[in-house]
Structure 1
Amino acid sequence: MPLSARIALGMLFLAAGLSGCDIFNNQPPPSTPATQPTSNSGSYTTLEQSVHEQINQYRQSQNLPPLTLNAEISKEAKAHSQAMANGTVAFSHDGFEGRVKEIGTSINYRSAAENVAYNQGYSDPVTQAVQGWIKSPGHLKNIQGDFNLTGIGVVQNAKGEYYLTQIFIKRG
């Protein structure tokens, strides 16, 4: 497929890119102290760090607090991106409730949301995805949402396609 066709296809997927998915679980506040958020930058790729930085820069520009990158949430985001990149699951939010349930085993949360993106053929796939999310009302709602934790997974497959997943969590 010619590069221009791949770029057009990538833009189609990014533009169509499924509106952000929300799930709310109004758990009561934990009776024991919640697990502290972790941010182990050594375990994140440069692309994942870039998503985190760009999203927080946007939130700061809107006078919103930054999101803390969390390893447990990122593990779920990465696994979903990997499954989409491998073709194990379609480019979608399929399995979101399961990812949130797994996150809930270690983090008490009140609400969760997810953004996914796909693109190919760009020199900066992260900026392409983040800008696409910002231009999409559903994705933007998640970016601007009342969340305090995030997890990010970015995977490139052998075809050069990038799959990005960002999960947003509001700690309970």
Structure 2
Amino acid sequence: MTTPALSPEARAARRAEVRRLADQNMSHRAIATKLGISKDTVRRDLAHLARHEPAPPRETPAPEPRSPRTTLSEQAERAGAAMHQLVAAVAAVVEASVPYAMVDDQVAHDWAAQMRQACDTLRHERQQFADYYPSALIAGATMSHRRAPDETPAQSTGSPAPSTPQKGR
């Protein structure tokens, strides 16, 4: 069945209506039924519009405001994931026995520089953490593997400094 040819104005009006209905998330079948045209005509009209006319700007809804609690919760979740990745990365370096890898001098130099940079960055982050959570770094909760240059032996071992026994008690 052929339909009579439309004037350019009528075709443009139909295409505009097809676009308007498509922008309302109507299916091709629903648009065809509403306008009394075939699904293929809807498809062709939308294809023509996509090729020849830019889509009108759509209003994007404003994002819903997030509560500070949600934002802090998301930040805590990201920080927890980052800490998990950090621990996994350190474990991978230890497991790979990086200090004993047979590499040329340039690679060894690069690795040493990367480790130094990472340690410096972590030391800085740890200090900021200690400034914000001083009770988290009390004896028993500090880094216990190796002593940082700014730590005393009691701080690095994770145990309190040995006390001298008091006589007479």
User: TM-score when scaled to structure 2?
Assistant: 0.21
Q: Which has the higher strand share?
A: 1
Which has the larger share of helix? 2
Q: Normalising by the residue count of structure 1, what TM-score does the alignment of the two structures yield?
A: 0.21
Larger radius of gyration, structure 1 or 2?
A: 2
